[in-house]
Amino acid sequence: MADIAEKPDFEELCIKCEQMELDGSASGEVYTQLLAVYLFQNDICNAKFLWKRTPDEIKLSTPELAKLWNVGCHIWKRDFVAVYNALKEEWSPSIQPIIAALTEKLQKRTFDLVVSNDTPLSEQKTWPN
């Protein structure tokens, strides 16, 4: 499935991972990829429900899944300093492209937010005299 993770929208990967979960054949890697895709899609609710329904044995046997959920928790709390620090960790090749795309997307969103709020005073509306 790593070759599917190369696509920038990750929609096909999401569909395949969801199907594997429904079939009961999802491994820890599949759960990790699906969680990464949900975070990339900014689908925090589905990410949270995925974490809750992931079997405990998979959570315990896949430390990267817990590490990725930690990123999701920081996104949920809007603690973006912690998000960026957590994303700097080393990630397995199967989710590295998704993590890179997620990092880039979050940086762009943050930059756009700063730019949209950085209107020069000369362009701001002033009170009439």
- What are 7-40's pLDDT values in tens digits? 567 999 999 999 999 999 999 999 999 999 999 9
Give the torsion through C-alpha atoms of 10, 12, 18, 19, to 10 deg: -160
Mean pLDDT of 63-77: 97
Cβ proximity of 47 and 28 under 8 Å: no
Would you state the pLDDT for residue 122?
55
Mean pLDDT value across residues 64-78? 97
Contacts of 51 (CB under 8 A, 6+ apart): 35, 69, 72
**Confidence at residue 84, expressed as pLDDT on a 0 to 100 scale:** 95
What is the C-alpha separation between 62 and 41, in angstroms, rounded? Answer: 22
> What pLDDT sits at residue 8?
65
pLDDT digits (tens, 9 = 90+) for 84-94: 999 999 999 99
Radius of gyration of the chain (CA): 18
pLDDT attached to residue 129? 43
Which is more confidently placed, 78 or 125? 78
- Res 120: pLDDT: 60
Band (pLDDT 50/70/90 cuts) for residue 115 is confident
